[in-house]
Structure 1
Amino acid sequence: MTENNREKEESAGQDLSAAEQIEPVTDTETVALGDRAGQRFPTQVRSALEYAAANKYAYGPRLRNAELTWNVVSAESMTDDIVRVRVEFAPASGFRGDSGIEYMDVDANGSILARRQIRIPKENTPVLLIGITGISIILAVIFISLMTWLKPEAGDPLYVAGRTLWIRAERPESREFITYTGLDSEGDFRTWVINPENESENDLVYVKVSLFNETSGSVNLVIDEKAAKLLDGDRTTYLPLNTIDRTLEAEAVGKVNSPEFMPMWGSLTLDEGEQVVGMLVFELPEGSSFTELRWAASDTAVIKYQ
């Protein structure tokens, strides 16, 4: 960047906070909205859109390889012939939610002087509020009293005891992707989908986990990326996916492939005599085998599959 460009960027960046927070609402002498932005500032708008499409790395790992669309929100004339082009961006298909917003400061020659991302795209995500004395953010998880639960037969290799919890982790199930139904934040049932990040080479694997508190007192649980590890046949370790961040609202599908799927994620308190059931999700290479699951949240246990 030349010294002249630096001076232009500093000039364009004055009062940055106000510029990020205030959206133009009408066409003015210095501001053009929507299609009029491209008509009034064609060079700057075209350069901004081309730069955004060629430099998707700024959107992070989830979006940098995705097919995106951009819509011009506004173009505003600044000092020194600089134009601030504000655009919305979002995945091209299957997206329902709030688009991301960014702006670029472009000079009269179409050179990008500054780029600032204000908001990333945010999908509608399923949220089920559960609680007895409070609210826990853990999706589709069921509390069951141990007084009405019949314990598995003795010798079940998938049912092991930790220091404070009894833990059962069923055999992993593989899917190309996972579709299921659940509640959204407004309490309405919707169809949700979880896809592998590398769809061409990987599958999703979910493990149904049941946790039982038979001790006196309460056990605090945090179900996150550190809650467990799944080992494949080569003893490679895989960590759970954040099912809140990775779950998207699905387009209409005839039939879900995992109707009993219950994502397990978040924090909760498990009182004496209570059970929590849900699924952890992992991403592994297609065709992987599984040797064991190592549980680590509030207790330790190893469930062997071979």
Structure 2
Amino acid sequence: MTEDNKEKEESAGQNHMAAEQAEPAMGTETVAVGDRAVERFPTQVRAALEYAAANKYEYGPRLRNAELTWDVVSAESMTNDIVRVRIEFAPTSGFRGDSGIEYMDVDAAGAILARRQIRTPKENTPVVLIGITGVSIILAVIFISLMTWLKPEGGDPLYVAGRTLWIRAEQPESREFITYTGLDSEGDFRTWLINPENESENDLVYVKVSLFNETSGSVNLVIDEEAAKLLDGDRASYLPLNTIERTLEAEGVDKVNSPEFMPMWGSLTLDEGEQVVGMLVFELPEGSEFTELRWDASDSAVIKYQ
């Protein structure tokens, strides 16, 4: 081996050793998942979990009083010794669906610098509600013979006549969210919840609607998103929510805020001399005023509130 080749080989060996020494630094763990996140960043993970448990109000009215379970998804090392901790959260019992996800930025001392909710828990449409499509209206309405019903006194502005139906739509009622009790498909009472899609800006508004068939023959009704429109003070119109899809089984609710609530949704036949009563639900900006309800299912009528 020449002296020149020997020098080149020694130089190559030194470069190889330098590369081996730099490799661990390049592979330094910045993201840890699951249990490894707890081991790698114990202070920050513990601080995030404790903060989440102590500040459930940010989860909204549906979950703030519920018993929740948190699981660590990951912890990621950021700049300035900050660790971003991602956690999943969901009701402890009776929940079937996708967990909520949030993250918190935590400093080396365990102080929470930022918190952001990425996804709220979304429960699968309850099986007990899916199975009642054919008879859903039985759970949603009350049939009463007009033979035992006394007509309201004349001059009631909320009581109007369509071509085939008499329709009464009471004053809209606003709620931050709606909780009520009702039967499931097996005949058991449960507590149900409906909440706005945009909980921070919107309220739910329900209107109690009564339909009367005084004609001869039967009237087929389909009560869905096109059954009616609720107009606000700016003449903007809002369509009914699908109360079958939007209803969840409530967790941790001691007292319902709408004990007389009966969702009106589905298809039915209203025979002569029958009445159906139930509530339509709308989502409107908080503090909205209401001008009129326009009924469009199998008939047409306008009930004015102002």
- TM-score class normalised by the smaller sequence: 0.5 to 0.7
Q: Is the 8 A contact 2:218 2:269 kept in 1?
A: yes
Report deviation, 1:98. Answer: 3.9
Deviations 1:205-259 (A, max 9, x none): 0000000000000000000000000000000000000001111011132211000
Return the letter of the residue paired with 2:94.
Answer: R
Quickly say closer, same or farther: Cα 1:268–1:218, change in 2 above 3 A. Answer: same
Alignment TM-score, normalising by the size of structure 2: 0.61
Equivalent residue number for residue 205 of structure 1: 205
After TM superposition, list the pairs within 5 Å mapping 1:150-189 onto structure 2. Answer: 150-189=150-189
Q: Match for residue 239 of structure 1?
A: 239
Cα distance 1:298–1:256, how it changes in 2: closer, same or farther (>3 A)? same
Corresponding position of 1:124: 126
Q: Is the 8 A contact 1:128 1:185 kept in 2?
A: no
Separation in structure 1 between the aligned mates of residue 130 and residue 145 of structure 2, nearest angstrom = 20
Query: If each structure's helix is expressed as a fraction of its own residues, which one has the higher value?
Result: 2
For 1:279, give the aligned amino acid.
M
5 Å-filtered alignment, 1:71-110, equals 92-93=90-91, 96=94, 98-99=96-97
How far apart are the structure 2 equivalents of 1:275 and 1:94?
Answer: 42
For the 8 Å contact 2:140–2:265, the answer to whether it is kept is no
How many residue pairs align between the two structures? Answer: 206
Answer yes or no: is the 8 Å Cα contact 2:180–2:191 preserved in 1: yes
Q: Distance in 1 between matches of 2:183 and 2:242?
A: 17
- Length-normalised TM-score, structure 1: 0.61
* Long gaps (5+) in structure 1: 1-37, 43-65, 73-89, 102-119
Q: Secondary structure at the match of 1:92?
A: strand
Kindly provide the CA deviation profile for residues 93-145 of structure 1, in whole angstroms up to 9, marking residues without a partner as x: 377354469xxxxxxxxxxxxxxxxxx95242664999xxxx53223310000
Bigger radius of gyration among the two: 2
SS state of the match for residue 267, structure 1? strand
Matched, 1:137 2:124: no
Amino acid in structure 2 at the alignment position of 1:122: N
Judged with a 3 Å threshold, the aligned counterparts in structure 2 of structure 1 residues 186 and 91 are, in CA distance, closer, same or farther, namely farther
Q: Which amino acid aligns with 2:225?
A: E
Question: Which consecutive unaligned segments of at least 5 residues does structure 2 have?
Answer: 1-33, 37-62, 74-87, 100-121
Gap change, CA 1:244 and 1:284, over 3 Å in 2 = same
RMSD over aligned CA atoms reads 3.1
Displacement, 1:71? Answer: 11
Task: Indicate how the Cα distance of structure 1 residues 126 and 168 shifts in structure 2: closer, same or farther if over 3 A, else same.
Answer: farther
Residue by residue over 1:47-69, the C-alpha shift from the partner in whole angstroms, topping out at 9 and shown as x without a partner, is: xxxxxxxxxxxxxxxxxxx9998
Instruction: State the one-letter code of the partner of 2:271.
Output: D
- The 5 Å alignment of 1:1-306 reads 92-93=90-91, 96=94, 98-99=96-97, 122-124=124-126, 127=129, 136-138=135-137, 139-306=139-306
- In structure 1, what is the Cα distance between the partners aligned to 2:140 and 2:130? 6
